[in-house]
Amino acid sequence: MTATVTYESNLRTTCLHLQSGSAIETDAPTDNKGKGERFSPTDLIATGLGACMITTMGIKAESMGIALDGAQVEVTKIMKSDPRRIGKIITHITMPGGLGLDDKNKEILERVARTCPVERSLHPEVELEISFDWK
């Protein structure tokens, strides 16, 4: 088992990661009867994509002798209705300055990000807009 999810009340859950004991609370979003005081479940999916992209890039970068410390991913989730679902996820990855990478190494790292496990797990109807800033 990976995690437990407990419904607390008022459209809030507590998600417990069993291996580490760390917890995340979720709220329903304000556009769906919630308070929006925490990540919504769909926020976690979109944010999980950004985290997966930068993590897999970090794994590959380490094997290439490159430190990506300070890299950042901005994530925007756009919902659709009828049925309500994630329609689009926009990710903008900003790499730290001074890496001095050539085009080949940038291409390798971008390919790793675009094929991370979360990206490959998303429904094909979810539109992805991915961009990179190599300072």
Shared domain for 13 and 78, answered yes or no, is: no
Shared domain for 74 and 31, answered yes or no, is: no
CB count, 10 Å around CB of 54? 20
Q: Do the Cβ atoms of 130 and 122 come closer than 8 Å?
A: no
Q: What is the pLDDT at residue 15?
A: 98
Structural domain count of the chain: 2
Shared domain for 16 and 70, answered yes or no, is: no
Residue 28's domain spans which residues?
A: 1-39
Please give the order of strands across the beta sheet that includes 127-133.
Answer: 72-80, 85-94, 127-133
Shared domain for 111 and 54, answered yes or no, is: yes
| Cα–Cα distances in angstroms (integers) from residue 117 to residues 53, 86, 120, 122, in the given order | 8, 18, 5, 9
Shared domain for 29 and 65, answered yes or no, is: no
Q: What is the pLDDT at residue 11?
A: 97
Shared domain for 67 and 128, answered yes or no, is: yes
- Decide: helix, strand or coil at residue 121: helix
Q: Of the candidates 50, 51, 39, which has an alpha carbon nearest to the alpha carbon of residue 5?
A: 39
Mean pLDDT by 10 residues, the chain (135 residues): 97 98 97 95 98 98 96 98 96 95 97 98 97 95
Omega prior to 117 cis, within 30 of 0: no
Q: What is the pLDDT at residue 135?
A: 85
Shared domain for 63 and 30, answered yes or no, is: no
Shared domain for 50 and 109, answered yes or no, is: yes
